Chain A
Amino acid sequence: MKTDELEKNLGLVPAYNDYEINNIVTGFTSDLLSDVMGNADEDSVLITIQAHKNTIACCSLAGITAVIICSGRKVPQDMIDAAKDEGIAIFTTKDNQFTTSFKVHGIL
């Protein structure tokens, strides 16, 4: 599924517009970024509450192309800047990680 289809189908809120559109194959849910680094698949969407720029560095190293920040947490500007540089989309949702994972799994 394409990144913009994920946004539309799940009613996600993009943290910035004109993000790079990639093919999303699977998802990974974790708030422990060393776990993400070690175990996430490439071309996944990361479901997490870790809203800071180190999440983007981690996604970049793991080959993740989109992040969903859950539970309505705010996305800081330096995270958005890093995501733009790395071509990683960021979305926010009010849902928690469980509900988001369920929804993502349902449409992938």
Chain B
Amino acid sequence: MKVRCDLHIHSCLSPCGDLEMSPNAIAQEAKKRGLDVIALTDHNTALNTPAFMTACNKAGIFGIYGIEITSSEEAHVLALFKKPETAVEMGKLVYKSLLSGKNDPEKWGDQVYLDDDENIIGEVEKYLTGGASIYSISELLEMTLKRDGIFIPAHIDKPQFSIKSQLGFLPDEEYSAIGLTKLPPIMELKGKPFITNSDAHYLHNIGDRSFTLDIEDLSFSHIKEAIVRGKITIN
């Protein structure tokens, strides 16, 4: 079966994410736009993934629970998991390791997380995009794979917070796939599969970039396997 995926979406928990980006609104909008699989990937925390799971179930769309982590190299990488609990646990380690100051909501935006009924249940104190984690790309990769997750360097061709901008070369690691914004790739990908995601911060951007996976069955393990094996068509 073929499924259309967007595995890089921000919610209202990211300071740069629009307040309208509640887990529920994201799931509904993604469904409307014909996506089958979506991942929530807020910056350096996964505290909105439990509500995102309920929202995806309600909308009848397959949810993946992730984090967009700022590595010590200041490159953004995606760690994606089967269960919100795993994402939250990994997110707590990452958040604790963030070399970042306190968020100023007036300056940088709110960082709120919600319950299933869209009530605000908390606000994150550290500025989520204001500093890097102490963990390097290879350490984050190891932490993700240890938890049976999917590890994807995000938008490696962007002019900031990407492997290209921070390192200038692609370290040879066991990435599940490589995230791109444009085709053809501007770097040598060493035979790794690649995908494109929207990196949506606003509802109207969900699915702007996406990819189609050819999978045996709609489950996390089959999605992971299809990504790693490169059964991908860029939309």
Q: Once the chains are docked, how many angstroms separate the CA of A76 from the CA of B165?
A: 23
Contact between chains at A54 and B168 (CB < 8 Å): no
Contacts of A50 in B (CB 8 A): 72-73
Given known pairs A50-B73, A51-B72, A52-B72, the reply for A57 and B169 (CB within 8 Å) is yes
Residue in contact with B164 in the complex, picked from A34, A51, A61, A76, CB distance below 8 Å: A34
Residues of A with C-beta under 8 A to B164? 34
Q: Which residues on B sit within 8 Å (CB–CB) of A33?
A: 73, 166-168
A58 to B75, CA, bound (A): 15
Q: Complex: how many Å from CA A11 to CA B43?
A: 40
Contact present for B169 and A61 (CB under 8 Å)? yes
Taking a contact as CB atoms under 8 Å apart, the answer to whether B167 and A34 are in contact is: yes
Assembled-state Cα–Cα distance A32/B159 (Å): 12
- Is there a chain A Cβ closer than 8 Å to B136's Cβ? yes
Give the total of B residues in contact with A, Cβ under 8 Å: 13
Contacting pair A52 B168 (CB below 8 A):
no
| A53 surroundings in chain B (CB, below 8 A) | 136, 138
Instruction: Contact check, B168 vs A34: say whether CB atoms are below 8 A apart.
Output: yes
User: In residues 31-63 of chain A, which contact B (Cβ within 8 Å)?
Assistant: 32-34, 37-38, 50-54, 57-58, 61
Q: 28 A-B residue contacts at CB 8 Å?
A: A32-B165, A32-B166, A33-B73, A33-B166, A33-B167, A33-B168, A34-B164, A34-B165, A34-B166, A37-B168, A38-B168, A51-B72, A52-B73, A52-B137, A52-B138, A52-B139, A53-B136, A54-B73, A54-B136, A54-B137, A54-B138, A54-B167, A54-B171, A57-B169, A57-B171, A58-B169, A61-B169, A76-B139
B residues bordering A, Cβ < 8 Å? Answer: 72-73, 136-139, 164-169, 171
